[in-house]
């Protein structure tokens, strides 16, 4: 009997020691004026889910060919660019979710002795700072496609060589003699000469290619050599055709933005895209015509949020909820992104006071 009583006392002492060792206090902010925190206290915010949106816009530049006005007459081309113009079109939208601090749910914590000993706060602070430094940095970049060298430089070919024949008088061995001579000089090409020259070159390229395909050449080429020559002739033909039909250049513009939906949000405006001016952020006066449609997979019937504001409890943690996310254009769904785990729609649970989870799993410390 004495041995059993002694064992009971030892067990009770061990339990008391363990509870005292892990004991802590968590207070919701703002603090009550009666609460005085110890020197070791720290703060944390529960996480919420931000949506990182990556947008790719194509800037299309249509440039009229130098000889567009002669395209139908000389080559029979009708589907050509008749005027220079620039317009924008949406190429791609992708999303990903990111955890960020939720300032609406902030707490003060007096850590347990075990947390102090393990320096849990310092470790969690470093991780929280790394995450916050990476997020909310909206970015913009552009990849410009330059004008092809052949097209850009062809307009500068304004001169051609011509030879003049004449008779030159010379004294040879003491005898005055007239001998034929010639000289080469540069003359300015007329517009008619230049356009006819380009058209003739296209005709010549086609003849050379057809000759290769028909096997009319005297030399027997390997398959690889033949394919290379035909490829080069095709490229040369396209270069000259561009002088008549024009060229299309597509620059890619990349935008990254972040949005944080509230639990009651069903539609989240993102941006507008104007054909003439391009990407317009949501803070513009123009209403956004691209938005996200948010549909919770299962709405929680009961919530434990009431415990969040209770005093002298353990950590409050948030559990995610599955949400369907779609892209809408003028309120019509144009793309299904799929199901994402969103913290805003999930339950908030208050843990027992003697339970010490990893701080980075609880939220963001500061």
DSSP state string for 146-169:
PPPHHHHHHTT--EEEEEEEEEEE
Residue appearing with tokens 């963001």: 364
| Residue 19, pLDDT score | 38
Least confident of 37-46, 107-116, 191-200: 107-116
| pTM to 2 decimal places | 0.73
Which of 12-26, 189-203, 280-294, 335-349 has the highest mean predicted lDDT (pLDDT)? Answer: 335-349
Whether 324 contacts 341, CB under 8 Å: no
Average pLDDT over residues 103-114: 83
Report the alpha-carbon distance of residue 142 to residue 155 in Å, rounded. Answer: 28
Q: For residue range 127-174, list pLDDT tens digits in order.
A: 656 555 555 667 888 888 888 888 888 766 554 344 444 455 555 555
Report the alpha-carbon distance of residue 263 to residue 46 in Å, rounded. Answer: 15
**What average pLDDT does the chain have?**
78
| Residue 36, pLDDT score | 83
Is the pLDDT at 201 greater than 60? The verdict is yes
Torsion angles phi and psi, residue 293, rounded to 5: -100, 120
Average pLDDT over residues 105-109: 88
Top pLDDT among 189 and 333 is at 333
Is the pLDDT at 245 greater than 70? The verdict is yes
Whether 83 contacts 64, CB under 8 Å: yes
pLDDT band at 7 (very low <50, low <70, confident <90, very high): very low
Whether 257 contacts 270, CB under 8 Å: yes
Is the pLDDT at 268 greater than 80? The verdict is yes
């Amino acid at each position: 009997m004495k041995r059993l009583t002694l064992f009971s006392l030892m067990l009770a002492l061990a339990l008391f020691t363990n509870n005292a060792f892990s004991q802590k206090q968590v207070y919701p902010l703002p603090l009550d004026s009666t609460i005085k925190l110890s020197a070791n206290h720290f703060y944390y915010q529960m996480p919420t889910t931000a949506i990182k949106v990556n947008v790719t816009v194509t800037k299309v530049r249509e440039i009229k060919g130098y000889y567009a006005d002669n395209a139908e007459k000389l080559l029979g081309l009708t589907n050509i660019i008749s005027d220079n113009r620039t317009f924008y079109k949406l190429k791609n939208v992708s999303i990903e979710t990111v955890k960020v601090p939720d300032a609406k749910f902030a707490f003060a914590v007096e850590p347990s002795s075990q947390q102090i000993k393990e320096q849990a706060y310092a470790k969690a602070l470093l991780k929280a700072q790394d995450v916050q430094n990476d997020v909310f940095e909206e970015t913009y970049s552009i990849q410009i496609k330059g004008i092809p060298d052949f097209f850009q430089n062809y307009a500068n070919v304004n001169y051609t060589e011509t030879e003049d024949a004449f008779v030159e008088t010379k004294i040879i061995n003491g005898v005055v003699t007239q001998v034929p001579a010639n000289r080469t000089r540069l003359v300015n090409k007329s517009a008619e000469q230049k356009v006819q020259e380009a058209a003739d070159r296209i005709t010549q390229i086609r003849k050379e290619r057809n000759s290769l395909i028909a096997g009319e050449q005297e030399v027997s080429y390997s398959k690889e050599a033949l394919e290379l020559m035909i490829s080069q002739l095709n490229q040369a033909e396209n270069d000259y055709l561009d002088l008549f039909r024009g060229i299309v250049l597509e620059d890619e513009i990349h935008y990254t933005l972040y949005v944080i939906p509230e639990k009651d949000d069903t539609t989240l405006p993102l941006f507008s895209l104007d054909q003439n001016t391009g990407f317009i952020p949501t803070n513009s006066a123009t209403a956004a015509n691209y938005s996200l449609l948010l549909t919770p997979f299962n709405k929680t019937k009961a919530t434990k949020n009431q415990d969040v504001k209770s005093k002298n409890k353990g950590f409050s943690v948030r559990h995610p909820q599955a949400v369907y996310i779609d892209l809408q254009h003028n309120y019509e769904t144009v793309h299904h992104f799929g199901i994402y785990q969103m913290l805003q729609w999930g339950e908030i649970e208050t843990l027992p006071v003697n339970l010490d989870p990893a701080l980075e799993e609880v939220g963001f410390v500061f």
